[in-house]
Amino acid sequence: MAEGSTRPAGFWQRYVAWSLDAAIVAVPTLLFSMAGLRMHLQALVGDFVSLTMMLAQRLVDGLMQGTQVMQLASSLAHEPALQAAMATILDDLRVLLLPPVAWFALFAACYWIGFERSPWQATPGKRALGLRVTDIDGEALDWRRATARHFAAAPSWLLLNLGHALAAWTPQKRALHDYIASTRVAADRGAVLPLWAKAWLLLQAMAALALGAWFYLSLLGALRSAIDSAPY
Protein backbone atom coordinates (compact mmCIF):
# COMPACT_ATOMS: atom_id res chain seq x y z
CA MET A 1 0.00 0.00 0.00
CA ALA A 2 1.41 3.40 -0.90
CA GLU A 3 1.92 5.95 1.82
CA GLY A 4 -0.49 8.48 0.36
CA SER A 5 -3.35 6.03 -0.38
CA THR A 6 -4.90 6.37 3.08
CA ARG A 7 -5.54 9.59 4.95
CA PRO A 8 -3.26 10.13 7.96
CA ALA A 9 -5.00 10.22 11.34
CA GLY A 10 -5.28 13.68 12.84
CA PHE A 11 -3.98 14.77 16.22
CA TRP A 12 -7.38 14.72 17.97
CA GLN A 13 -8.26 11.34 16.52
CA ARG A 14 -5.02 9.97 17.88
CA TYR A 15 -5.53 11.62 21.25
CA VAL A 16 -9.08 10.29 21.64
CA ALA A 17 -7.88 6.79 20.75
CA TRP A 18 -4.96 7.02 23.18
CA SER A 19 -7.14 8.31 26.03
CA LEU A 20 -9.64 5.48 25.51
CA ASP A 21 -6.83 2.93 25.57
CA ALA A 22 -5.30 4.57 28.64
CA ALA A 23 -8.66 4.32 30.43
CA ILE A 24 -8.81 0.61 29.58
CA VAL A 25 -5.25 -0.02 30.80
CA ALA A 26 -6.00 1.98 33.96
CA VAL A 27 -8.52 -0.65 35.11
CA PRO A 28 -6.04 -3.50 35.77
CA THR A 29 -3.50 -0.90 36.92
CA LEU A 30 -5.84 0.26 39.68
CA LEU A 31 -6.75 -3.32 40.61
CA PHE A 32 -3.10 -4.29 41.04
CA SER A 33 -2.07 -1.11 42.89
CA MET A 34 -5.18 -0.60 45.01
CA ALA A 35 -3.51 -1.80 48.19
CA GLY A 36 -2.32 1.27 50.05
CA LEU A 37 -3.56 3.65 47.36
CA ARG A 38 -6.30 5.17 49.51
CA MET A 39 -3.97 5.60 52.48
CA HIS A 40 -1.30 7.33 50.39
CA LEU A 41 -3.89 9.53 48.71
CA GLN A 42 -5.29 10.61 52.07
CA ALA A 43 -1.78 11.45 53.25
CA LEU A 44 -1.17 13.51 50.11
CA VAL A 45 -4.42 15.44 50.48
CA GLY A 46 -3.77 16.06 54.17
CA ASP A 47 -0.25 17.33 53.54
CA PHE A 48 -1.48 19.51 50.67
CA VAL A 49 -4.13 21.09 52.90
CA SER A 50 -1.50 21.69 55.59
CA LEU A 51 0.78 23.36 53.06
CA THR A 52 -1.96 25.64 51.76
CA MET A 53 -2.90 26.61 55.30
CA MET A 54 0.73 27.37 56.15
CA LEU A 55 1.27 29.32 52.94
CA ALA A 56 -1.95 31.29 53.40
CA GLN A 57 -0.99 32.19 56.97
CA ARG A 58 2.44 33.39 55.88
CA LEU A 59 0.89 35.49 53.09
CA VAL A 60 -1.64 37.11 55.40
CA ASP A 61 0.95 37.79 58.11
CA GLY A 62 3.38 39.31 55.60
CA LEU A 63 0.80 41.52 53.92
CA MET A 64 -0.60 42.75 57.22
CA GLN A 65 2.91 43.70 58.30
CA GLY A 66 3.32 45.73 55.12
CA THR A 67 5.94 43.48 53.52
CA GLN A 68 6.55 44.20 49.85
CA VAL A 69 5.21 41.52 47.51
CA MET A 70 8.57 40.66 45.94
CA GLN A 71 10.27 40.54 49.31
CA LEU A 72 7.47 38.35 50.66
CA ALA A 73 7.74 35.97 47.70
CA SER A 74 11.49 35.70 48.18
CA SER A 75 11.18 35.00 51.89
CA LEU A 76 8.51 32.35 51.31
CA ALA A 77 10.65 30.63 48.67
CA HIS A 78 13.49 30.25 51.16
CA GLU A 79 11.51 29.45 54.31
CA PRO A 80 12.63 26.06 55.69
CA ALA A 81 9.16 25.09 56.96
CA LEU A 82 7.58 25.60 53.54
CA GLN A 83 10.44 23.81 51.81
CA ALA A 84 10.01 20.87 54.18
CA ALA A 85 6.26 20.81 53.50
CA MET A 86 6.89 20.79 49.76
CA ALA A 87 9.43 17.99 50.15
CA THR A 88 6.83 15.99 52.09
CA ILE A 89 4.28 16.43 49.31
CA LEU A 90 6.80 15.37 46.66
CA ASP A 91 7.59 12.29 48.73
CA ASP A 92 3.84 11.58 49.05
CA LEU A 93 3.52 11.82 45.27
CA ARG A 94 6.43 9.45 44.75
CA VAL A 95 4.98 6.86 47.11
CA LEU A 96 1.50 7.28 45.65
CA LEU A 97 2.41 7.17 41.96
CA LEU A 98 5.33 4.75 41.72
CA PRO A 99 3.34 1.47 41.96
CA PRO A 100 0.53 2.56 39.56
CA VAL A 101 3.04 3.96 37.06
CA ALA A 102 5.05 0.74 37.14
CA TRP A 103 1.95 -1.43 36.64
CA PHE A 104 0.63 0.90 33.92
CA ALA A 105 3.93 0.74 32.04
CA LEU A 106 3.90 -3.07 32.16
CA PHE A 107 0.28 -3.44 31.04
CA ALA A 108 0.67 -0.70 28.42
CA ALA A 109 3.62 -2.43 26.77
CA CYS A 110 1.70 -5.70 26.44
CA TYR A 111 -1.47 -3.90 25.33
CA TRP A 112 -0.09 -1.52 22.70
CA ILE A 113 2.50 -3.86 21.23
CA GLY A 114 0.14 -6.83 21.16
CA PHE A 115 -2.80 -5.04 19.56
CA GLU A 116 -0.77 -3.02 17.04
CA ARG A 117 0.96 -6.23 15.93
CA SER A 118 -2.37 -8.11 15.73
CA PRO A 119 -4.51 -8.49 12.57
CA TRP A 120 -6.43 -5.40 13.76
CA GLN A 121 -3.24 -3.33 13.42
CA ALA A 122 -4.79 -1.19 16.12
CA THR A 123 -5.63 -0.98 19.79
CA PRO A 124 -9.35 -1.03 20.71
CA GLY A 125 -9.27 2.76 21.02
CA LYS A 126 -7.79 3.17 17.54
CA ARG A 127 -10.15 0.57 16.11
CA ALA A 128 -13.17 2.45 17.51
CA LEU A 129 -12.09 5.44 15.40
CA GLY A 130 -11.12 3.48 12.32
CA LEU A 131 -7.36 3.98 12.76
CA ARG A 132 -4.57 1.56 11.86
CA VAL A 133 -0.85 1.57 12.58
CA THR A 134 1.35 0.66 9.62
CA ASP A 135 4.93 1.01 8.55
CA ILE A 136 5.84 3.89 6.26
CA ASP A 137 4.79 1.84 3.20
CA GLY A 138 1.37 1.01 4.65
CA GLU A 139 2.22 -2.58 5.62
CA ALA A 140 1.38 -4.27 8.92
CA LEU A 141 3.97 -4.05 11.69
CA ASP A 142 6.06 -7.01 12.73
CA TRP A 143 6.93 -7.62 16.37
CA ARG A 144 10.24 -5.79 16.10
CA ARG A 145 8.76 -2.61 14.66
CA ALA A 146 5.71 -2.67 16.98
CA THR A 147 8.00 -2.99 20.00
CA ALA A 148 10.32 -0.28 18.71
CA ARG A 149 7.36 2.06 18.13
CA HIS A 150 6.05 1.60 21.65
CA PHE A 151 9.33 2.22 23.44
CA ALA A 152 10.27 5.04 21.08
CA ALA A 153 7.49 7.04 22.75
CA ALA A 154 9.64 7.35 25.91
CA PRO A 155 11.47 10.50 24.68
CA SER A 156 8.10 12.12 23.95
CA TRP A 157 6.98 11.61 27.54
CA LEU A 158 10.32 12.90 28.82
CA LEU A 159 9.91 15.98 26.59
CA LEU A 160 6.55 16.79 28.23
CA ASN A 161 4.64 15.31 25.27
CA LEU A 162 6.26 17.58 22.68
CA GLY A 163 7.06 14.49 20.65
CA HIS A 164 3.39 13.49 20.62
CA ALA A 165 2.39 17.04 19.70
CA LEU A 166 4.32 16.71 16.44
CA ALA A 167 1.30 14.79 15.14
CA ALA A 168 -0.57 18.11 15.03
CA TRP A 169 2.00 19.83 12.78
CA THR A 170 3.87 17.37 10.58
CA PRO A 171 2.62 16.79 6.99
CA GLN A 172 1.71 13.12 7.55
CA LYS A 173 0.56 13.74 11.16
CA ARG A 174 3.40 11.60 12.48
CA ALA A 175 4.62 11.82 16.07
CA LEU A 176 8.24 11.54 17.17
CA HIS A 177 7.98 7.79 17.83
CA ASP A 178 6.54 7.32 14.33
CA TYR A 179 9.64 8.94 12.85
CA ILE A 180 11.95 6.86 15.05
CA ALA A 181 10.20 3.57 14.18
CA SER A 182 9.29 4.51 10.57
CA THR A 183 5.56 4.09 11.17
CA ARG A 184 2.38 6.05 10.59
CA VAL A 185 -1.27 6.00 11.71
CA ALA A 186 -3.87 5.79 8.95
CA ALA A 187 -7.51 6.88 9.24
CA ASP A 188 -9.79 4.64 7.21
CA ARG A 189 -12.92 6.71 7.98
CA GLY A 190 -11.62 10.21 7.29
CA ALA A 191 -10.71 12.96 9.74
CA VAL A 192 -14.10 13.81 11.27
CA LEU A 193 -14.51 12.96 14.95
CA PRO A 194 -17.76 11.14 15.76
CA LEU A 195 -20.14 12.69 18.29
CA TRP A 196 -19.24 10.21 21.01
CA ALA A 197 -15.54 11.12 20.64
CA LYS A 198 -16.35 14.82 21.07
CA ALA A 199 -18.39 13.96 24.16
CA TRP A 200 -15.42 11.98 25.52
CA LEU A 201 -13.17 15.02 25.01
CA LEU A 202 -15.73 17.25 26.74
CA LEU A 203 -15.87 14.86 29.70
CA GLN A 204 -12.09 15.03 30.08
CA ALA A 205 -12.15 18.83 29.90
CA MET A 206 -14.84 18.94 32.59
CA ALA A 207 -12.77 16.63 34.81
CA ALA A 208 -9.72 18.89 34.38
CA LEU A 209 -11.81 21.96 35.24
CA ALA A 210 -13.23 20.21 38.31
CA LEU A 211 -9.71 19.38 39.51
CA GLY A 212 -8.59 22.98 38.94
CA ALA A 213 -11.66 24.26 40.78
CA TRP A 214 -10.92 21.97 43.74
CA PHE A 215 -7.34 23.27 43.90
CA TYR A 216 -8.52 26.89 43.70
CA LEU A 217 -11.23 26.43 46.35
CA SER A 218 -8.78 24.66 48.66
CA LEU A 219 -6.37 27.58 48.41
CA LEU A 220 -9.18 30.10 48.79
CA GLY A 221 -10.49 28.30 51.87
CA ALA A 222 -7.02 28.28 53.41
CA LEU A 223 -6.63 32.02 52.77
CA ARG A 224 -10.03 32.71 54.31
CA SER A 225 -9.18 30.67 57.41
CA ALA A 226 -5.85 32.49 57.75
CA ILE A 227 -7.54 35.90 57.46
CA ASP A 228 -10.23 34.96 59.99
CA SER A 229 -7.62 33.82 62.50
CA ALA A 230 -5.29 36.79 61.98
CA PRO A 231 -5.08 39.37 64.82
CA TYR A 232 -6.27 42.85 63.86
pLDDT tens, position by position, 14-39: 999 999 999 999 999 988 888 777 77
- Residue 37 host element (H or E): helix 37-64
Least confident of 168-172, 190-194, 226-230: 226-230
Q: pLDDT (tens digit, 9 = 90+) per residue, 190-217?
A: 778 899 999 999 999 999 999 888 877 7
Least confident of 57-66, 80-89, 221-230: 221-230
Q: How confident is the model at residue 230 (pLDDT cuts 50, 70, 90)?
A: low
pLDDT surpasses 60 at 84 = yes
pTM: 0.74
* Nearest alpha-carbon partner for 88 in 125, 120, 124, 40: 40
CB proximity list for 58: less than 8 A, separation 6 or greater: 76, 79, 82
Q: pLDDT (tens digit, 9 = 90+) per residue, 8-19?
A: 988 999 999 999
pLDDT surpasses 70 at 5 = no
Check if the beta carbon of residue 40 is closer than 8 Å to that of residue 96: yes
pLDDT at 171: 82
